[in-house]
A = this chain, B = another copy of it.
Amino acid sequence: MAEKQEKKEVGITAEKDDFSEWFSQLMLKADLADYTEVSGCIVFKPTAYSMWEKIREEVDKRFKKLGIKNCYFPLLIPEKFLTMEKEHVEGFSPEVAWVTQAGDSKLNERLAVRPTSETIMYPSYSKWIRSYRDLPLKYNQWNNVVRWEFKHPVPFMRTREFLWNELHTVLATEKEAIMEGKEVIDAYIDVVENIMALYGKYGRKTEREKFAGGVFSEKLHYVMPNGKVAEGPCFHHDGQNFAKAYDIKFIDKDKTEKYAWQNTYAITTRMLGVMFAIHSDDKGLILPPRIAPNPIVIVPIFREENAKKVLAEAEKIKKSLKNYEVLLDDREGYTPGFKFNDYEMKGIPLRIEIGEKDIEKDQAVLVRRDNLTKKAVKLKDIEKEAEKILNEMQKSMLEKSKKLFESKVKKGKSLAELKKIIEDKMMGVVPLCKEEKCEETLKFETKGAKALFISDEDKVKQEKCIMCGKKADYFVYVGKTY
């Protein structure tokens, strides 16, 4: 009891069930981010930021194979550009931050801080694209965007400024555009599942929830421990809508002039929040080995008189683990217990403890962060064993994330059932018709839940829409979102 008390004081004092307090403490105590005086904006501290760099690197590697190139367009967008696609501007203008002054001068035209870059990129695309030889054009940006939302901000999950990639491609045919969609989404899924160990479900948005100005939108969806749904990487197929608004035409092989087809894709820093929230526990952060900046920490247990001997052995272990970025904590003045708690808080996947007694037994103790299992391992086997544990942990975290998702899904046959499901902090799968009105009423009746995506697996037969009672068009996942 006394021990638990001590841990609690340095650790997180909220249970994971009290999600928003727990998440805020996790962010601060695991040194991931901090609040700022800029309302709704956070500082990404080095640990969190380095994981964003890793995501960027992994996505870039896969994008490169798909012929996608990185570039950079201006942050500030003249108002006249923003308003060229009607639905698009209606979707974004309520949350645009406007630059109206420079120094002491009032600007002639307001400039939007980009909420997304279609409206600044497409006028250039229109200029650059002349012939089928210029297609496909696949330009990507990693940048910052600002959306001055007035909903309650949540670190990582909903911030007024966030970081993302925005990939905007132009293709000659609809068929190519649809095929590309699959390739790019597969690249995202590969990164999210195999690096971040997160299971999400991919599906198409309803008309009401699609991207403003596009033809259809598809996204990955993740369930947080509090039952709220976070939207992840997305694919918006724009058809020829923007091409018509921004005059993106090309002379095709058949010598006729055609409007081009366009797609847009993104992954954002929100995924960091999803990862921190889904994997972590009351002791702090748990990081998937493949994204952890330091997958292994060595904590030597020593006193002044045996320091040299123990530290030498710890160094030897570090050297043997040359394939990993290993942290060796040889600081004096901190107890091993303090260090254990600290690295548990920071989520380092594997801790290696080594003291004089271990050396006598020719062993070290390996502690796996997610399940806290301990294992004494012969010194010569550490490298092999560490690799095995880290691989198992990576795999097990993805499986656990899948189980979490599945445990939060429940079918409902009526509005009453759906309301109960939402109250129980889960997602409902219900039959619905295409009428926007039904989605609006659903949102009102469930106090804010919305249609997330159309189910691929559940096909409607004779089911009725739970809102209007007419024939349902599809099964839809419904939940509250960030």
Contact = CB atoms under 8 A, between A and B. Distances in A.
Contacts of A81: 37
Nearest to A128: B34
A147 B45 CA distance: 25
A76 to B, nearest CB: 6
Interface stretch (A10-18, A92-100, A459-467, A473-481): A92-100
Given A74-B43, A143-B144, A97 B99 contact: yes
A56 to B, nearest CB: 10
Contacts of A397: none
A43 B71 contact: yes
Nearest to A44: B72
Given A43-B124, A124-B34, A143-B144, A49 B71 contact: yes
B97 A98 contact: no
A74 B96 CA distance: 16
Contacts of A49: 69-72
Copies of this chain: 2
Interface string A43-81: 111100110110000000000000001111111111001
Contacts of A38: 74, 76-78, 111, 120
A104 interface: yes
A103 B93 contact: yes
B75 A144 contact: yes
A97 B104 contact: no
A97 B77 CA distance: 13
A101 B100 contact: yes
B95 A103 contact: yes
A146 interface: yes
A46 B69 contact: yes
A237 B69 CA distance: 38
Interface string A197-239: 0000000000000000000000000000000000000000000
Interface string A278-312: 00000000000000000000000000000000000
A75 B49 CA distance: 15
Contact of A102 (B69, B95, B124): B95
B74 A36 contact: yes
A148 interface: yes
A365 to B, nearest CB: 28
A231 to B, nearest CB: 21
A111 B148 CA distance: 12
A124 B161 contact: no
B74 A148 contact: no
A336 interface: no
Interface centre among A49, A71, A94, A102 (most CB of B within 10 A): A102
A123 B36 CA distance: 9
Interface in A314-356: none
Contacts of A75: 41, 113, 144, 146, 161
A128 B28 CA distance: 11
A123 B76 contact: no
A94 B104 contact: yes
B99 A103 contact: no
A141 to B, nearest CB: 9
A389 interface: no
B94 A113 contact: no
B148 A73 contact: no
In the complex, the 5 A-B pairs of residues with the closest C-beta atoms, listed nearest first: A102-B148, A46-B69, A41-B74, A44-B72, A98-B101
Given A36-B124, A37-B81, 18 more contacts: A34-B124, A36-B74, A38-B74, A43-B71, A43-B73, A50-B69, A52-B72, A72-B163, A75-B113, A76-B97, A76-B113, A96-B102, A96-B103, A99-B100, A100-B101, A103-B148, A103-B150, A143-B144
